[in-house]
Structure 1
Amino acid sequence: MMVSWILETPSESSPRSSTSAFTAETFGHRCIDPTAGGEKLCPHFGGCLSCPGLVVPIDAIHLARILLTIEQLEKARTRLDPQRWVLIYKPSHDLLVGGILPDFPAKLHEEARGLMPSLPALPALE
C-alpha cells in the first residue's frame, strides 16, 4: 500500500479503472499481471520492492513519497513489537533505504523535503 502510494502521481488521485482483470496494486508497484499469465501468483507478489521489474521514477515527488514512507516505517518501529517489525516491515525499510534511496541524486533531496508537507499523510501502520 505504501509503495503504491509512492508511485501514484498527483493526477492519479481518483480511483483507477483497469482494463485487465489481473491487474493488481500490491505493496510495491502496479503489477499488470500478478499471475504471470497463469493460475499461480507471481513469486514476487507482496514483495514488489524486490521485483526485478520494479521501476521508480527519479523525480522530487517520488522521492518525497519515499522519504515519507521511510519516516512512517521508522515511526512504526518505535511502536510495534520488535520481532513483528523485523518480520513484516524491516525488509521493505531496508530496500527503500539501501536499494532505492541511493539512486536519487542529492540535489533532489531538498526539493523533495519541501514537497513532503503538501502530500497527504500516510495511514499509520497497524
Structure 2
Amino acid sequence: MIKKLAEQLVNLTVKEINELAKLLKTDYGIEPTTITSSLNNASTINADKIGNNISTNQEEKNVFDLVLKSLGNSKLSLVKLVKEITGKGLKESKEIVDNIPQIIKKSVDKKEAEIIKKKFEDIGSNIELR
C-alpha cells in the first residue's frame, strides 16, 4: 500500500502537487514547503519517463565554452597549459594568453570542462564556463 502511494505521489504533475499542498495546509494544518519541494524534485526526475515537461527549475547546462579570464601565477605555465588543452602551437597559445579574455575551447562537456577548469585553477588562472 505504501509503495503504491509513493508511486502515485512521484507521478503527480506540478498542478496536482500544488493542489495537494493547499489541501494539506487548509484541511490538516501541515505546512507544505518541504513536502512540495520533495514532490517537485521527484516529479522532475520522472518528467521524461511520463512524457511531461514538469521541471520548474532551469535545466542544467551540459556543454560549455571555456573562457580564459586571468593569467595567474606564471605566464609560461599558462601558455603551456593552453597549448596542451587547445592543441595549438606555442606561438598561437602565447597569443591567446596575451589577449585575454579569450575562448580557449568551445562545446566542451561538463565533466571535461570541470577537469580543465581545475587545471587552470591549480596554476592560479581563472576560467569561466559559459
**Structure with more helix by fraction:** 2
Larger Cα-atom Rg: 2
TM-score (norm 1): 0.25
**Structure with more strand by fraction:** 2
